[in-house]
Amino acid sequence: MNFNLKAANGQVIGTNEMYESAAGRDGGIASVKTHAPSATIDDKTVYDIFIHSRPLRPAMYSTYRLL
C-alpha cells in the first residue's frame, strides 16, 4: 500500500517506500540514520499567527485561524 502525505495546499510533502525484504528496510533505516545528522533543514514554520476567536462563544459560532 502506497500513500502520499499532502500539505493543506495539496502539495505532496512526503511519500512512503515499500521494501521487498527486511534487509532492504533495515538498510533504508541505516541510511537515514547516517545522512540525517548532516542534512540541510529548510524550516518553513510560520510564527506570529494571530488566532481570532470569540471568548466564551456559543457552540453555533466558529473560530477562525487567520493566516
- C-alpha dihedral sign at 21, 27, 31, 34: positive
pTM across the whole model: 0.42
For 53, residues 6+ apart whose C-beta sits below 8 A from its C-beta are 63, 64
- The domain locations on the chain are 4-65
Q: Indicate if the pLDDT at residue 57 is higher than 70.
A: no
Average pLDDT, the chain: 80
Q: What is the pLDDT of residues 14-51, one digit of tens each?
A: 888 888 899 998 998 899 999 999 988 888 887 777 76
